[in-house]
Amino acid sequence: MRKIRVSKIRNTVRELCVKANTLLRPDILRALKKARKKETHKTSKRILGVLLENAEIAKKEKRAICQDTGFVSVYIEIGQDVRIIGGGLKDAVNEGVMKAYKETFLRKSVVRSPLLRANTGTNTPSAIYTEIVKGNKLKMTVVPKGIGSENKSAVKMLNPTEGEKEIISFVLKVVKEAGPDACPPYILGIGIGGMFDKAPFLARKALAISIIGANPKKHLRKLENAILKKVNRLGIGPMGFGAKTTCLGVRILEYPTHIAGLPVAVSVGCHATRSASDNI
Amino acid sequence: MRKVTTPLTKSIRKKLRCGEEVLLSGTLYTARDAAHKELAQLIIKKKKLPFSLKDNVIYYTGPTPKREDGFFGSCGPTTSSRMDSFTPFLLRKGLGAMIGKGRRTPRVRNLIKKHKAVYFLAVGGAGAYLAKKIKSSKVLAFHNLGPEAVYALEVRNFPLVVGIDSQGKDIYG
């Protein structure tokens, strides 16, 4: 049994929140540079340049990439041979978030009740998802997501006899509806399977996967490529001025589902999709 | 590139064309969802507004808190469509221009034309870059709204694109 102190968890969450909010992910940075190089639309090329300059300023001056520093989701894979000591896991995670947002002057965007709308002033609580896995490590992934793109995310219960074609047409519909509003070029996290709740969970989780490198599942890799190609034919482009680059990357996660269903969810990520991971 | 300074009088607004890139200097007033709801309520109740809307510019943003140096770290535009239901009240009070990101409803577009106002677009997700164009800021109203309070921002050469011009021409069609 490996003991991990909550203070270690708190510090890790704090560091990950700061990192995710101030350092644009290297995979997205690379994709933006590539997009800028091949973009022929003059204004769009200039906008992509502004986004790269923005990332540079944020990194150098430890500023938030975007003022919407998000609602924080924290995914924790807990090795079954780990024992957490010194306090509660949930408190440790929330204290880490709180510290990061206070010390780095990140925006506090959480309201206590969705109906009463009073700001908690700490950007907590976060949404914490735990999963027990084999081993004696603790893997933490922090995803602070802005709501401009989240408001465009959607879930649909397809029929089991439908398939790739209907999935693609649903994704295209979601991206078209997002249009210029949610900060394209987009990163799309797609969740397929499970029941009604599982697909959106997977979709958001997929956003935390690097957009460089291939999906280990061949049928998903094929679908990711098909979606990327079709979305980039929509001609939305940076700020929606009509250009080649509408989507920087697509990531799909799947889970077994019921014989009578095919749930699909799309989590729309902006060009400043943020996440950071670490192992303890 | 055309440079304009606030207040944005009707004669300035009428010169701006859809798709044109503009550098704006002067005062911007921040207001987003909660502040719009408050402002619309004050207008409906015929109460005095905390600042004049006449020929002024509202920036849809909720900046990150001020840093130790007294400046916002990040201050980019938020999605404009969420303000659409409140915008008609503000336009009727003489609002000159709005800054945000994304599409507006046909109703807002028509009212922009009617009032000869302008809708500007700023680059979404470039909050750090845009914050550096802000020279000073002070909280003006609705302090209790935290990140949604109304601030007066002094900006220099704030980079914008005309999204909807005073003739109602819309970059998104």
- In angstroms, rounded to a whole number, what is the distance separating the alpha carbons of residues B77 and B121? 8
Question: What pLDDT, on a 0 to 100 scale, did the predictor assign at position B173?
Answer: 87
Report CB contact under 8 Å: A121, B146: yes
* Domain housing A122: 2-22+65-145
Same domain? A255 vs A183? yes
* Domain housing B132: 2-164
Question: What pLDDT, on a 0 to 100 scale, did the predictor assign at position B60?
Answer: 98
What is the number of domains present in chain A?
Answer: 2
Same domain? A161 vs A200? yes
Assess if residue B171 is contained within a domain: no
Question: What pLDDT, on a 0 to 100 scale, did the predictor assign at position B2?
Answer: 96
Same domain? A167 vs A121? no
Return the residue matching tokens 């922090």.
Answer: A142
- In angstroms, rounded to a whole number, what is the distance separating the alpha carbons of residues A104 and A120? 17
Report CB contact under 8 Å: A271, B146: no
Last residue of a domain, one of A145, A167, A188: A145
Query: Which residues on A lie below 8 Å from B84 (Cβ)?
Result: none
With 90 as the cut, is the pLDDT of residue A244 above it? no
The catalytic residues of B are 36
Report CB contact under 8 Å: B76, A58: no
Would you call B127 exposed, middle or buried from its count of C-beta atoms within 10 A (0-12, 13-18, 19+)?
A: buried
Assess if residue A37 is contained within a domain: no
Distance (Å) from the alpha carbon of A253 to chain B's nearest alpha carbon: 26
What is the number of domains present in chain B?
Answer: 1
Q: Which residues contact B127 (CB under 8 A, 6 or more apart)?
A: A54, A63, A64, A65, A66, A67, A68, B63, B64, B73, B74, B75, B76
3-class SS string, B124-150: CCCHHHHHCCEEEEEEEECHHHHHHCE
Last residue of a domain, one of A145, A170, A186: A145
With 90 as the cut, is the pLDDT of residue A134 above it? yes
Chain A residues interacting with chain B (CB cutoff of 8 angstroms): 43, 47, 50-51, 53-55, 57-58, 61-69, 105-109, 117, 119, 121, 148, 151, 179-183, 239-241, 270-272
Question: What pLDDT, on a 0 to 100 scale, did the predictor assign at position B11?
Answer: 97
Distance (Å) from the alpha carbon of B20 to chain A's nearest alpha carbon: 11
With 90 as the cut, is the pLDDT of residue A176 above it? yes
DSSP 8-state secondary structure symbol assigned to residue B119: E
Query: Which residue, A245, A180, A269, is CA-closest to A31?
Result: A245
Assess if residue B170 is contained within a domain: no
Identity at A276, one-letter amino acid code: A
- Residues B23-77 pLDDT 10s: 999 999 999 999 999 999 999 999 999 999 999 999 999 999 999 999 999 999 9
Question: What pLDDT, on a 0 to 100 scale, did the predictor assign at position A243?
Answer: 87
Same domain? A135 vs A174? no
How does the average pLDDT of chain A come out, rounded? 97
Distance (Å) from the alpha carbon of A50 to chain B's nearest alpha carbon: 7
Neighbouring C-beta atoms of residue B93, cutoff 10 Å: 15
- In angstroms, rounded to a whole number, what is the distance separating the alpha carbons of residues A121 and B144? 11
Same domain? A241 vs A155? yes
Assess if residue A178 is contained within a domain: yes
Which residue among A65, A181, A272 places its CB closest to the CB of B81?
Answer: A181
Neighbouring C-beta atoms of residue B70, cutoff 10 Å: 8
Question: What pLDDT, on a 0 to 100 scale, did the predictor assign at position B162?
Answer: 98
Report CB contact under 8 Å: B127, A105: no
Residue A133 pLDDT level (bands cut at 50, 70, 90): very high
Summarize the confidence of residues B83-101 as an average pLDDT: 98
Summarize the confidence of residues B115-131 as an average pLDDT: 98
Same domain? A17 vs A120? yes
Same domain? A153 vs A106? no
Query: Which residue, B157, B114, B1, B81, is CA-closest to A240?
Result: B81
- In angstroms, rounded to a whole number, what is the distance separating the alpha carbons of residues A223 and A218? 9
Distance (Å) from the alpha carbon of B154 to chain A's nearest alpha carbon: 18
Nearest CA in chain B to A272: B125
- In angstroms, rounded to a whole number, what is the distance separating the alpha carbons of residues A40 and B69? 39
Same domain? A133 vs A6? yes
Question: In b/e form, how buried is each residue of A200-210, taking b as 16+ CB within 10 angstroms?
Answer: bbbbbbbbbbe
Element (H, E) at A199: helix A198-206
- Residues A153-168 pLDDT 10s: 999 999 999 999 999 9
Residue A57 pLDDT level (bands cut at 50, 70, 90): very high
- In angstroms, rounded to a whole number, what is the distance separating the alpha carbons of residues A27 and A138? 24
Question: What pLDDT, on a 0 to 100 scale, did the predictor assign at position A78?
Answer: 98
CB proximity B60 to A under 8 Å: no
CB proximity B103 to A under 8 Å: yes
Same domain? A77 vs A196? no
CB proximity B123 to A under 8 Å: yes
Question: In b/e form, how buried is each residue of A111-147, taking b as 16+ CB within 10 angstroms?
Answer: eeeeeeeebeeebbbbebeeeeeeeeebbbbbbbbbb
Last residue of a domain, one of A123, A145, A167: A145
- Residues A137-156 pLDDT 10s: 999 999 999 999 999 999 99
Same domain? A234 vs A247? yes
The fraction of chain A above a pLDDT of 90, given in percent, is: 98
- In angstroms, rounded to a whole number, what is the distance separating the alpha carbons of residues A55 and B126? 8
Same domain? A118 vs A14? yes
Nearest CA in chain A to B68: A105
Q: What is the DSSP string of A121-184?
A: SS--PPEEEEEEESSS-EEEEEEEE-HHHHTT-EEEEE-TT--HHHHHHHHHHHHHHHTTTT-S
Sign of the CA dihedral running A57, A58, A62, A64: positive
Assess if residue A190 is contained within a domain: yes
CB proximity B30 to A under 8 Å: no
Q: What is the CATH number of the domain that holds B26?
A: 3.20.130.10
Question: What pLDDT, on a 0 to 100 scale, did the predictor assign at position A204?
Answer: 97
Q: What is the CATH number of the domain that holds A72?
A: 3.30.360
Residue A251 pLDDT level (bands cut at 50, 70, 90): very high
Report CB contact under 8 Å: B74, A69: yes
- Residues A58-80 pLDDT 10s: 999 999 999 999 999 999 999 99
Same domain? A171 vs A243? yes
Assess if residue B84 is contained within a domain: yes
Assess if residue B172 is contained within a domain: no
Query: Which residues on B lie below 8 Å from A51 (Cβ)?
Result: 123, 125-126
